[in-house]
Amino acid sequence: MGARVEALAARAGLAFVWDEVTALPDALAYLGPMAHDVVVSSDAIRRELGYAEVRSVEEALDDHLAGLRASRG
């Protein structure tokens, strides 16, 4: 997540550093990992199907930024 946020900020011309927090304060411990949390990756199926992105990461970030800017009103 941090790399994505930093890439978006850089594309917008902003300096931003994502500070990953590994431990929650005791008061927020209930927000930590849950037994039903699942992390998945689509890399294997993408490889098997020969999937390739149709746009570059930069194009996708530019489109995302344009949508964010347009939604500001």
Mean pLDDT of 56-62: 93
Determine the Cα–Cα distance for residues 48 and 45; give it in Å rounded to an integer: 5
Tens digit of pLDDT for each residue in 33-58? 888 888 899 999 999 999 999 999 99
What does the pLDDT read at residue 52?
92
What does the pLDDT read at residue 32?
81
Residue 42: exposure state from Cβ atoms within 10 A (0-12, 13-18, ≥19): exposed
Contact in structure between 60 and 6 (CB atoms under 8 Å): no
What does the pLDDT read at residue 59?
95
Which pLDDT band holds residue 66 (cuts at 50, 70, 90)?
very high
**Residue given tokens 């930069």 in the structure block:** 58
